[in-house]
Amino acid sequence: MIRRFALFVGLICAAPVWAVEMSMPTGSRLVSDRGSAFDSYDLPVGPWQGGTVETVTLEGRVDRQSWRVESGSITTLQLLDPLRTQLREAGLDLVFDCDAQSCGGFDFRFAIEVIPTPDMYVDIRDYRFLAARGEDRAVSLLISRSRTAGYVQIIQVSPADQEGLQISPGGAPAPVMQNPDRPKDLAARLVEQGHVTLDDLEFEIGSTNLGTASYDSLASLAAFLLANPSAVVALVGHTDASGALDVNISVSRERAASVLRRLVEDYAVPEAQLRAEGMGYLAPRASHLTAEGRELNRRVEAVLLALD
């Protein structure tokens, strides 16, 4: 169980107004914004340890935002660093700062409050978390990225009669990695391994429709198929183990079909080079018994069937 320690910030009288602005990188877009005039938030102040995450329960005005950053190959640390500096300059003390491994990996991510997808995306292998505190307020940052964009979750607690940190999208351009040490590209992995997971795909909530964003994996796969007219790829959908097998096979096949349509309609890939299949929950890559495992198992893979 998560330990909680109460700190009441919402009833402080005559607290000073905090007119501080945080600038997001250029290319940032506010995805979700929800404020509560009086609410509570369990601020993580330590890693997952001994089966729990230590938190401090704060009460007051709680603002929850998520941002998408069109950032190319920027790393999570490059996203975090200027925001961390701005919090220090605003007079907040950093009380906890970790990356995925030191935070506690899967367990930490699923023990803390996270805005649901698609408004917030968290790669459980690549994220960073920061908690900062001032005299009467606190801010947490959760930063991750897909293959196409960065994601920043900001949760802040301030006195109930005051506004929180003002956040704007017009900051400095996001830094771009120079000569990043990148893994083999999708085409190379597809040929070498015979299959590859399209990890950056995001589907609409409660739907089998592929989201409207641009996905690096589809651009790479399309380029490979157009350059190799003899290549044939099966798009194979996978689900978690929730629900009946026949339903899951249908859902997984429909999601694969949605990806196929995107490749044909947006990238002009010949339909003859593509197949759409569904495996349901029969080919997991992690345990279906944990939340993090189920998240990993919901995916679409490309399987190379032919290449002359």
Q: What are phi and psi of 244, to 5 degrees?
A: -75, 155
| Single-letter amino acid, residue 265 | E
| Single-letter amino acid, residue 307 | L
If DSSP codes are grouped into helix, strand and coil, which group holds residue 140?
A: strand
Domain borders along the chain are 6-168, 186-306
Q: What Cα–Cα distance (Å) separates residue 241 from each residue in 91, 93, 247?
A: 47, 43, 10
Model confidence over 59-81: pLDDT tens digits?
Answer: 999 999 999 998 666 789 989 99
What residues contact 11, with CB distance under 8 A and at least 6 apart? Answer: 159, 160
Kindly indicate the confidence band of residue 6, based on its pLDDT and cuts at 50, 70 and 90.
Answer: very low
- Helix residue spans in 56-145 (DSSP H): 76-89, 100-103, 105-111
If we measure between CA atoms, which residue out of 277, 272, 186 comes closest to residue 238?
A: 277
Q: What Cα–Cα distance (Å) separates residue 183 from each residue in 186, 190, 299?
A: 9, 13, 20
Cis ω on the peptide bond leading into residue 159 (within 30° of 0)? no
Model confidence over 14-23: pLDDT tens digits?
Answer: 344 444 678 8
Tell me the C-alpha distance between 68 and 152, whole Å.
Answer: 7
pTM exceeds 0.85 for this model: no
| Single-letter amino acid, residue 249 | I
If DSSP codes are grouped into helix, strand and coil, which group holds residue 219?
A: helix
On the 0-12 / 13-18 / 19+ scale of CB atoms within 10 A, 63 is: buried
Mean pLDDT of the region 119-127 = 87
- Asked which of 15-19, 87-91, 112-116, 214-218 is least confident by mean pLDDT, the reply is 15-19
Model confidence over 218-266: pLDDT tens digits?
Answer: 999 999 999 999 999 999 999 999 999 999 999 999 999 999 999 999 9
pLDDT of the residue at 90: 87
pLDDT of the residue at 117: 78
CATH fold for the domain made of 186-306: 60s Ribosomal Protein L30; Chain: A; (3.30.1330)
What residues contact 109, with CB distance under 8 A and at least 6 apart? Answer: 100, 103, 122, 124, 127, 292
pLDDT of the residue at 12: 35
Q: What Cα–Cα distance (Å) separates residue 92 from each residue in 135, 156, 158, 246?
A: 8, 12, 12, 53
